[in-house]
Amino acid sequence: MSIDTLPTYYDDLNASYDEAWTLLIRGKADRRSAFHTPSVATVDTDGYPQVRTVVLRAADKTSAELRFHTDLRARKLVEIAEQPCVSLHFYDKKAKIQLRATGLAKAHTSGFVKEAAWENTRAMSRECYRVDKSPGSFVDASDDWVIPQDPPDADMGKEHFVPVVVKVRSIEWLYLARGGHRRALFDLDEHGALASARWMVP
């Protein structure tokens, strides 16, 4: 696409919303996608914002749900338990699109969601849940922590594995274009359906 060629969603709210979900779903599937590793923001117990990069593991437009995985011992789970409102930030420099998805996060420490997510997690990804110390804990040296090289079974670390599902309640869209940026806000209802779509000043 040349700089002077505008995409079909440029002045179309519904098409912009559809494109947002196309990018999110692609981000889940394609490790090379800029949307594969969003930043997630929570609020800590002292009221300060905390932002970190996660891997997008699932994106479902029908249910308006996004999923990432974390460690049961991670501080972000304490923060989510206290304040489940979170925001995920996505930016694709090549596509010139930024998304901010805000919603309610739920940690699945047991049950079907956890079991299914664990079964679909690669062996390499399971390793980080086998670390002997909690993520973020202080150590005396940079390498003062251990990942078992030969775990006794494939499920070692599963007790620390937690999928977090975010029920999206709004998506803020920003498309950067030389001829004029486009910004919009999409509000979703509790079932994940699009409730309203409005243009905003970029």
- Taking residue 114's Cβ as centre, other Cβ atoms within 10 Å add up to 17
Provide mean pLDDT across the span 41-51: 95
Q: What is the pLDDT of residue 3?
A: 52
Q: What is the pLDDT of residue 4?
A: 60
Q: What is the pLDDT of residue 1?
A: 43
Compute φ and ψ for 198, nearest 5 degrees: -140, 140
Q: What is the pLDDT of residue 33?
A: 97
Q: Enter the DSSP assignment of 6.
A: P
Give percent above pLDDT 70 in the chain.
98
CA–CA separation, 41 and 78 (whole Å):
13
Whole-model pTM: value is 0.93
Q: With cut-offs at 50, 70 and 90, classify the pLDDT of residue 99.
A: very high
CA–CA separation, 54 and 57 (whole Å):
9
3-class secondary structure, 118: helix
Q: Which residue has the tokens 């437009």?
A: 61
Provide mean pLDDT across the span 23-44: 97
At residue 130, does pLDDT exceed 90?
Answer: no
CA–CA separation, 173 and 27 (whole Å):
16
Provide mean pLDDT across the span 3-23: 92
* 3-state DSSP of 29-91: HCCCCHHHCCEEEEECCCCCEEEEECCCCEEECCCCEEEEEEECCCHHHHHHHHCCEEEEEEE
